[in-house]
Each structure stands twice: as C-alpha cells, then as structure tokens.
C-alpha cells in the first residue's frame, strides 16, 4: 500500500510516496507508524490523514485500493 | 449558483471578474491574496505553492456547496495559483456576486477563511537571508 | 494610508487594482457595485447618477479618514461613476489593501456602507415600463 | 441668497438653484420655507441641509456668502 506525502511531511520523509506495511489497518495505526518511523512528524502542529481524498478519523479502516495521504498543516491562500 | 474552481500556474483577477459579471447582480466582492515581500519582518524572495490537486479541488467544491446552502449567491469564482510566486504575484482570488452586497461580503470572507483551513495546499517560504520556512 | 478618491463618468476595477497593488500587502478586498437589470422585480433600462461633487468628494475623504483612524489599511481606492449607466456597468468601486485580510473585509464593507449613507450622490431609475424612480 | 437643489428636491422645485428670502436666517427656517413653498418635500423620508459642504443642524445660521444646499435622501453606490 502506498502513502502520498505533501508539504513538510514530504520533506521529513524525503519522498512523495512511501510504502506502508500491511500491519497498518486504520488511520490511528498509520499515524503511529509514521511517528515511529519519522519522529520529526511528532513536532507538527497537526497531522491529518486523507483516505480517498477525504479527511479521515482515527478509526477509519485503510487497505489496498485506498488512496491514502498525509496532510500536514495546510497553508494555502 | 454558478461556480468556477481552478488550480493553475497562473491566475488573474480579470478571469474571476469576467466569470462573476452578470446584469442580475448588483454587488460583487473580490478577495485577492498576493505574495508579500516580508513575513514577520523577514524579507521574502519567493513562495512555492504545491497542492494535492484532486483533493484540493474536492475541498474547494465543498466550500462552494456550503456557500450555496447558506447564502443566495449567484456566482462564485475560487482560483488558486501553484508553483513559484514572487512578491506582488497573485496566489488566490475569491470572487462572489449577488443581488445584495452584505451577503457577498460574508460569503467571500467565509470562502477564503475556510479555504485556508481545509484545502490541501502548502506554501514554502524562501527568505532573503537564505532561510526556508514552511 | 494612501488614498485614491474620484468621481468620474467612467471608472474601472483595473485602475483601483493598480492603485492598491503593493508588495507590502497580502490581502486585497474589492467591492464593485454594478447596475442591475431589475429593481424589486421591475425591469431597469438605465440609471442616471448625479452628485454634489465638491461635497461628495469631501464626504468620501471623511470616510477615508475614518478608515485610517480605525484600521491599519495601507491603500484605499474609492471611485464613483456619474451620468447614464446601463445594466452591467460599474457604478462604484471600493478597493482596500492591507497586510492582513480580516481588517480589509471590515474596512471595505464599512466604506461602501457609509458611502451609501452619507455621500451626496443620487440615482434616478429608468424602468422598462416607462416609469422613473428616485 | 442662492440655494442648490439636487435629486428629487431639484425635480420638485423644477430648478437646480433658487433664491431664498433674507428672512431665512438658519437651517430650521430654511426647511420651513421649503415645506411651505414646495409641500411635496414634506413627503421625503429625510431632508438634510448642507452649509458650506457640511451637513448642518437646525440651529446653524446661514447668510449671504454661505453655500447652502438641499440634500434629499442620498442613493449612491
């Protein structure tokens, strides 16, 4: 399963797309996996996850076939 | 409500004005966000905007849906630029037309405020002192 | 605050945008009032605007003075057209630039609201049914 | 002393400039004189007077040398 990264999250990971292990089955587990692998992400004022282009809560399931993205604090406008 | 939503390298105020122009509407409110030459006293060379385009367009459409539900707005244009932008360049344009002006102000301010909170667009700041901020 | 105040036969949004443009400002709010093709369901052929010019300019300057006293606005353009105006024509443009957007919305709305209350400009409405209103 | 008229007040008087008698010495007297001479002006939702390009209260004196104007309800914008 692939994970899209944007903004500062992309810079921290050093990649716009990383693979995530199959043991990650929901948003909460994804965030924990990110914090473990990229401790600098814990410093962000917020870290949202989007599943299929929608902001997703911690309990939302993710699996193969989902488009999953890390959304650091947005700063458009 | 008719809506124009776009994310492009270059946007202009004129295209937004042209879109919202209508003889049925008496009041138009336009917000433009331009790149400033300083951020908290630190000189800015340029900004770089990137977006998660498919989701950004979807979130912009959601804002338009909320505007339509809350106010009697006839036309709404919501344009955001991406890529390198220099001081004085336009980064965002929101243009709203309605028969009466009060709701046009409310809808325009709501749109830009919500866009800044929810739409996945990110800017990187390049400072004159060589620093980079996010 | 720099101010552009004018009453003329023809005004454009572009001249207001050009005036308020500044790399020090990140937020610009523009209000344009255009002639509608109906008033309370009655078709409009044209409007005719006249003014008491010397006093109108003086009252517009007073509004600018109040804006300057209340908000940290960098630039304010306040333009009003006079003479025959047809549906779609621009009758008034208010453009405000500031470093931050919230006060630009407040100052722009205050300016148009106050202009409509205090500036001696009058419109006569010519209806499609041949009637004239004031 | 001359009086400038605008908008609907001009249409009621049928003139953009009318002479006012010397017996009129302040704004209140001017309004009364206008209402007597042009009863239709009593129907206006408001009638302001400007003296030397400033809105003037009822007690303000007016005399030769002042620029005096009748300001019916404004409708710019």
C-alpha C13/C-alpha B42 separation (Å) is 32
Q: How many CB atoms lie within 10 A of CB C81?
A: 25
* Residue B5 CA neighbour count, 13 Å, CB half: 20
C-alpha C14/C-alpha C12 separation (Å) is 5
C-alpha B54/C-alpha B48 separation (Å) is 19
pLDDT at B92 over 90: yes
- The owner of tokens 């908000």 is C71
C-alpha C51/C-alpha D69 separation (Å) is 12
C-alpha B124/C-alpha B49 separation (Å) is 6
pLDDT at D1 over 90: no
* Residue D19 CA neighbour count, 13 Å, CB half: 3
pLDDT at C24 over 90: no
Closest chain B CA to residue A12: B134
List of residues 6+ apart from B130 with CB closer than 8 A: none
**Where are the alpha helices (H) located in chain D, listed in sequence order?**
7-13, 27-37
Write out the two tokens for B42: 């630190």
Pairing label, strands A2-5, A68-71: parallel
Decide if B7 contacts B57 (C-beta within 8 A): yes
List of residues 6+ apart from C95 with CB closer than 8 A: C13, C16, C17, C19, C20, C28, C29, C30, C31, C75, C76, C77, C108
What 3-state class would DSSP assign to C76? strand
Write out the two tokens for C75: 């630039």
Closest CA to C120 of C48, C51, C47, C33: C51
* Residue D15 CA neighbour count, 13 Å, CB half: 9
Any chain C CB within 8 A of the CB of D43? no
C-alpha B45/C-alpha B38 separation (Å) is 8
Shortest CA gap C99–chain B (Å): 8
A22-65 pLDDT, tens digit each: 999 999 999 999 999 999 999 999 999 999 999 999 999 999 99
Range with the poorest average pLDDT among B25-29, B90-94, C107-111? B25-29
Q: Sorting pLDDT into bands at 50, 70 and 90, what band is C40?
A: confident
pLDDT at C63 over 90: yes
B93-114 pLDDT, tens digit each: 999 999 889 999 999 999 999 9
Length of chain B: 134
C-alpha B6/C-alpha A42 separation (Å) is 33
Mean pLDDT of C16-37: 94
Whether A77 and B112 lie within 8 Å, measured CB to CB: yes
What 3-state class would DSSP assign to B68? helix
Any chain D CB within 8 A of the CB of C49? yes
Complex prediction ipTM:
0.94
What 3-state class would DSSP assign to D14? coil
Decide if C79 contacts C8 (C-beta within 8 A): yes
pLDDT on residue D72: 97
- Which contiguous run of DSSP H or E holds residue B92? strand B90-98
pLDDT on residue C70: 98
Closest chain B CA to residue A45: B134
pLDDT on residue B40: 85
Decide if C77 contacts C2 (C-beta within 8 A): no
Closest chain C CA to residue D45: C134
Average pLDDT, chain C: 96
What 3-state class would DSSP assign to D48? strand
C-alpha B65/C-alpha C95 separation (Å) is 27
pLDDT on residue C111: 98
Pairing label, strands D48-51, D2-5: unpaired
Decide if B47 contacts B82 (C-beta within 8 A): no
pLDDT at B41 over 90: no
Length of chain A: 77
pLDDT on residue C83: 98
- Can you name the CATH fold of C2-128? Aldehyde Oxidoreductase; domain 3 (3.90.1170)
Mean pLDDT of C40-58: 96
**Where are the alpha helices (H) located in chain A, listed in sequence order?**
7-13, 27-37
C-alpha B119/C-alpha B109 separation (Å) is 15
Whether C52 and D4 lie within 8 Å, measured CB to CB: yes
Whether A75 and B54 lie within 8 Å, measured CB to CB: no
Q: Sorting pLDDT into bands at 50, 70 and 90, what band is B134?
A: confident
Sequence ranges of the domains in chain C: 2-128
Q: Helix %, strand %, coil % for chain C, to 5?
A: 35, 45, 25
pLDDT at A73 over 90: yes
Shortest CA gap C129–chain D (Å): 20
Q: Helix %, strand %, coil % for chain A, to 5?
A: 30, 25, 45
pLDDT on residue C31: 98
D17-76 pLDDT, tens digit each: 999 999 999 999 999 999 999 999 999 999 999 999 999 999 999 999 999 999 999 999
Shortest CA gap C108–chain D (Å): 13
Whether B101 and C112 lie within 8 Å, measured CB to CB: yes
Ordered structural domains, chain A, with CATH = 2-71 (3.10.20.30)
pLDDT at B90 over 90: yes
């Amino acid at each position: 399963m692939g994970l899209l990264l944007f903004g500062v999250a992309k810079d921290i990971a050093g990649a716009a797309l990383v693979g995530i292990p199959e043991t990650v089955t929901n948003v909460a587990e994804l965030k924990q996996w990110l914090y473990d692998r990229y401790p600098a992400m814990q410093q962000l004022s917020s870290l949202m996850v989007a599943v299929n282009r929608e902001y997703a809560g911690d309990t939302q399931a993710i699996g193969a076939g989902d488009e999953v993205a890390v959304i650091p604090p947005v700063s458009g406008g | 409500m008719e809506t124009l939503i776009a994310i492009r390298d270059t946007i202009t105020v004129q295209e937004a004005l042209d879109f919202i122009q209508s003889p049925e509407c008496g009041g138009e409110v336009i917000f433009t966000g331009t790149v400033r030459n300083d951020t908290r006293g630190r000189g800015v060379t340029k900004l770089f905007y990137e977006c998660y385009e498919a989701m950004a367009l979807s979130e912009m459409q959601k804002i338009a849906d909320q505007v339509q539900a809350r106010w009697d707005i006839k036309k709404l244009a919501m344009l955001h630029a991406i890529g390198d932008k220099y001081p004085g360049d336009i980064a965002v344009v929101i243009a709203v037309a309605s028969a009466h002006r009060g709701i046009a102000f409310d809808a325009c301010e709501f749109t830009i405020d919500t866009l800044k909170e929810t739409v996945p667009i990110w800017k990187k700041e390049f400072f004159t002192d060589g620093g980079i901020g996010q």
